[in-house]
Chains A and B, each alone.
Chain A
Amino acid sequence: MKPAPFEYHSPHTIEEVVALKSQYGDEAKFLAGGQSLVPAMNFRIVQPSVLIDLNRVAELSYIREEGEAILIGSMARERHLEFNEAIKNRTPLLHEAVPFIAHPQIRNRGTIGGSIVNADPAAELPMLMIALSARLKAKNKSGERWVEAKDFFAGMFTTALEPDEALVEIELPFAKPNTGWSFTEVAPRVGDYAMMGVATLVTLDKDKKCTQAKLVYLNAGDGPVEAFEAEVLLVGNVLDDKLIESAASHASEKEITPFGNIHASADFQRHLANSLTKKTLKQAVQRAEETL
């Protein structure tokens, strides 16, 4: 058998989940979709002595609107996000990006919570959480706390979760009025981890001036990278081609720190970031203008 032996628990309630995690701490790993964890266990890169399977915890699997936000249980599958009407209407950026994650067979099992906690800098969902200003609810035996997405990612495959905590819920505020969105990436093949990707949001006022902008990159550093300075260049201005070009140059040359890998050198990744930034900004502006 490929993975090393482990003790297996399959709780049915969140209460049991956090009780088990507080009992075993770092020794135990949660098993969500298994699409990142099981490959690592098959290679024996990871050998948890205890697995806490979340797949039978029905109360962790939902997508619903509440007030001005969408609430998503951590065990909602990537495939559920892809076909959800509320996500399509309220957070169209997420709707556009999900099909870029892996293949349908992987998205059928892979979960939003698993991808976020896995915190792979090349993954789509962590950077989308930043772009969408998500809040993430962590829970342990004694209570729960909300963490802003921007404070959640703490480097390569590392998050702000404590050893006794589970990620239980994700809160996504509805897209603001007059906001355009765009996501795109470049991967060696459809479904592969991308060499570079960018999520873009722009909000315009009635004079077409940008009041808010988001530019967030995957595979551009040791976690999701937000180009704050390029965003500042955009805000307060009409987003013409010249300004879009200078923001794209600034973000791709000064703000991201790609490492390069066997598929793409760091220089090529910067080149991709530049052209994807221009492409997504133009599309986001066009979509925002259509709402004015």
Chain B
Amino acid sequence: MTQKFAITVTVNGTEYQRDVEPRMLLSDFLRHELGLTGTHVGCEHGVCGACTILFDGESARSCLTFAVQADGHSITTVEGLALDDDNLHPLQQSFWEAHGLQCGYCTPGILMSMVPFLKQNPNPTEDEIRHALSGNLCRCTGYQHVVDAVKLASEKMK
């Protein structure tokens, strides 16, 4: 049995303490240890973007980070975006209104990539949005409505 490490991680503002094997990926930690299944897992080698979360406020692949590395750090997942069930984050609301998703598998990763993007680029052009989406694969939408949704969100968030 490999040694376990006691870690303390703040996820969406709540502090969690767990004992983890060092090889446990942050994506598996969030899903299996904390039950936060909003973070999706597609490829587990960094390509698809479905597992994107915020690590100390910056977007990162949770499938390429070990849970032990999050000890003492702050993580935000898609569950941390909405204020409550009735008040979606403006980006989520825009995805709803502009039909930015079909099956929804890619959506949490896209949202977690676009939150910091919109913070840094409050008035993005379509070209900039498409560039920023390049690290997130979607097999359903053809991206057009995703781009529309991000554009709509940028207007809502002004």
On A, residues with C-beta under 8 Å from B are 1-8, 10, 31, 34-35, 38-39, 42-43, 51, 53, 55, 79, 102-106, 108-109, 189-191
Contact B44 A5 (CB under 8 A): no
CB distance from A124 to the nearest CB of B (A): 16
**Contact A104:B68 (CB < 8 A) given known A1-B28, A39-B45:** no
Contacts of A2 in B (CB 8 A): 23, 25, 44
Query: Contacts A1-B24, A35-B64, A109-B64 given: A104-B44 contact, CB under 8 Å?
Result: no
CA distance A4 to B25 in the complex (A): 12
Contact indicator per residue, chain B 59-70, by CB within 8 Å of chain A (1) or not (0): 111011110110
Tell me the complex Cα distance, A5–B46, Å: 20
In the complex, what's the smallest C-beta–C-beta distance from A10 to chain B, in angstroms? Answer: 7
Indicate if the CB atoms of A108 and B46 lie closer than 8 Å.
no
By a CB distance below 8 angstroms, the chain B residues around A108 are 55, 58-60
Q: CB < 8 Å: which of A31, A109, A191 contacts B135?
A: A191
**CB-nearest residue of chain B relative to A108?**
B58
- Quick check: B64 and A191 within 8 Å, CB to CB? no
B108 CB–A CB distance under 8 Å = no
Residue B158 interfacial (CB < 8 Å): no
Whether B76 sits at the interface, judged by CB under 8 Å, is: no
Please tell me if the beta carbons of A34 and B64 are within 8 angstroms of each other in the complex.
yes
A109 to B131: give the CA distance in the assembly, Å.
19
B134 within 8 A of A: yes
A220 to B55: give the CA distance in the assembly, Å. Answer: 35
Question: At the interface, is chain A mostly helix, strand, loop or mixed?
Answer: loop
In whole Å, how far is B124's beta carbon from the nearest beta carbon of chain A? 13
A38 contact set on B, CB distance < 8 A: 25, 46, 63-66
Q: Max chain B CB contacts within 10 Å: which of A10, A51, A109? A: A109
Quick check: is B22 within 8 A (CB to CB) of the other chain?
Answer: yes
Q: In residues 19-40 of chain B, which contact A (Cβ within 8 Å)?
A: 21-25, 28
Give the CA-CA distance A35 to B64 in the complex, in Å: 6
A-B contacts, 11 listed (Cβ < 8 Å): A1-B23, A2-B23, A2-B25, A3-B25, A34-B64, A34-B66, A38-B64, A105-B52, A105-B113, A106-B46, A109-B64
Let me know if B60 and A43 touch, CB within 8 A. Answer: no
CB closest chain-B residue, reference A8 = B22
- Taking CB as reference atom, which chain A residue is nearest B41? A2
List A contacts of B49 (CB < 8 A). Answer: 103, 105
The distance in angstroms between the C-alpha atoms of A2 and B45, with both chains bound, is: 11
Whole-angstrom distance between the Cβ of B83 and the nearest chain A Cβ? 25
The smallest beta-carbon distance between A209 and chain B, in angstroms, is 39
Given contacts A34-B64, A39-B64, 7 further A-B contacts (CB under 8 A): A1-B21, A39-B45, A42-B63, A55-B69, A105-B60, A105-B61, A108-B58
Asked if B5 lies at the interface with its beta carbon under 8 angstroms from chain A, I say yes
Q: How far is the CB of B48 from chain A (nearest CB, A)?
A: 11
Q: Which residues of A contact B14 (CB under 8 A)?
A: none
Chain A residues near B24: list those with CB within 8 A.
1
Does A106 contact B61, Cβ atoms closer than 8 Å?
A: yes
Query: Which residues of B have CB within 8 Å of A6?
Result: 2, 22-23
A104 touches B25 (CB 8 A): no
The 6 A-B residue pairs with the shortest CB-CB distance in the complex, in nearest-first order: A103-B135, A8-B22, A39-B45, A190-B134, A38-B64, A105-B59
Nearest-Cβ distance from residue A118 to partner chain B, whole angstroms: 13
How far, in whole Å, are A108 and B132 apart by their CA atoms in the complex? 13
**B117 to A, closest residue via Cβ:** A104
How many Å lie between the Cα of A232 and that of B61 in the bound state?
44
Nearest A residue to B135, CB-CB = A103
Q: In the bound complex, do residue A7 and residue B3 qualify as a contact, i.e. CB atoms below 8 Å apart?
A: yes
Residues of B within 8 A of A105 (CB): 49, 52, 59-61, 113, 135
